[in-house]
Amino acid sequence: MGKKKKAARPTQQQVGKLPPMHKFFLNPYPDLRYSACPQCNRPTKLRKHPFLVLIFPAFPTVLNMTGPYCPACDLLILHQDKVEHMLSAACQRHGHPEAIGNEYLVAGIVERSYFRAASAGKLPEGALFDYLHDFKQYVTFEPSRWSWVPADPPPDAPQAGSTRKTS
């Protein structure tokens, strides 16, 4: 994890043949779901897209996922825990259990037509990047911290130790 915020990946190069779309944020905070945009604070909408995820070293997969989107900022968010859950399932389903836990990159959004073909098991081999929109930029956000309040926290405020989850 780099310390730089909003830095485009230094080695980022366009791999998709289609025009890049959206800024993308992979949200690493399981307790933050970004119903408000982390950049402009407006309410986000939910958008569903087929995302291309490259699992290293050599296992591309497509996940049809819904995430928050801010039209004003053109910012699309996926939650890392959900992505990884779906990646594990995809690895199992495609007979690559050894790829679970590998590094991966959410590379962009593929055209729905490609996703449908892939879902039907008719993956046009080698043509994947012809159907891919890269992201315009990868961005990260720090969560806003709870600030200490002197007294009388609102009744629905999380209890101290709210980071501990009972499961």
Phi, psi of 119 (to 5 degrees): -65, -35
Phi, psi of 11 (to 5 degrees): -95, 10
Provide the mask over 10-39, with x wherever binding to Zn ion is found by CB under 5 A and - wherever it is not.
Answer: ---------------------------x-x
Identified binder of Zn ion from the candidate list 55, 63, 70, 76, rule CB under 5 A: 70
Question: Among the candidate windows 63-71, 98-106, 126-134, 157-165, which touches Zn ion by CB under 5 A?
Answer: 63-71
Instruction: Kindly tell me which of 38 and 50 has the beta carbon lying closer to Zn ion.
Output: 38
The SS3 assignment for 148 reads: coil
Q: For residue 27, count other CB atoms closer than 10 A to its CB.
A: 21
Report how far residue 67's alpha carbon sits from residue 33's, in angstroms, rounded to the nearest whole number: 9
Chain residue at closest Cβ approach to Zn ion: 37
Site residues, Zn ion (CB under 5 A): 37, 39-40, 70, 72-73
